[in-house]
Amino acid sequence: MTIDCADPGRLVEFWALALHYRPQQPPDGHPTWRSYWLTKGIPEEELEGADGLDSIEDPAGVGPRFWFQREPKAGKNRLHLDLAVSGGRSVPLETRRERVAAEAERLIAAGATRLRVLHTEGADHSAA
């Protein structure tokens, strides 16, 4: 999955934490991704600012790889990821709400912004 952004390093740090992923290290024999891409023939001008880590991977090798491509832009990304942290519908609703709230607080501490809490009385659903 590729996500255009102005600051790949910042998003690598946040989304690795949020998804329990790890930053993807450059291939063996390359101290940086920049040095790797140069050996693949990518022109220097296309690598401006590409000195740090710009991708994350699932340590278990199951989930998708995310590449945060430096692409300065003015508009917001039209993508969001639903993080399944509640434990599912077999878990009591109050416990699910507590789990979602705790995860939201963890991610807010890492730089996220809470836009709203979704909760309708009587509904078996909640999100933050």
Residue range 24-83, pLDDT digits in tens: 998 888 998 888 888 888 788 777 766 678 899 999 999 999 988 887 777 776 777 888
Q: For 119, phi and psi rounded to 5 degrees? A: -155, 125
Q: Mean per-residue pLDDT for 87-98?
A: 90
Phi-psi region of 20 (alpha: psi -120 to 50; beta: other; left: phi over 0): left
Q: Which pLDDT score, from 0 to 100, does residue 108 have?
A: 95
Q: 81-86 long-range contacts, Cβ below 8 Å, gap at least 24?
A: 81/18, 81/19, 83/18, 83/19, 86/126
Neighbours of 68 (CB within 10 A): 23
Residue 95 confidence class, pLDDT cut points 50, 70, 90: very high
Q: Which pLDDT score, from 0 to 100, does residue 51 have?
A: 67
CA–CA dist 95, 83 (Å, integer):
16
Answer whether residue 89 shows pLDDT above 90: no
CA–CA dist 13, 32 (Å, integer):
17
Q: Which pLDDT score, from 0 to 100, does residue 70 have?
A: 81
For 124, residues 6+ apart whose C-beta sits below 8 A from its C-beta are 89, 93
The residue that leads in pLDDT, 40 or 101, is: 101
**What percentage of the chain reaches a pLDDT higher than 70?**
91
Q: What is the DSSP letter of 58?
A: -
Whether the CB-CB separation of 15 and 21 falls below 8 Å is answered with yes
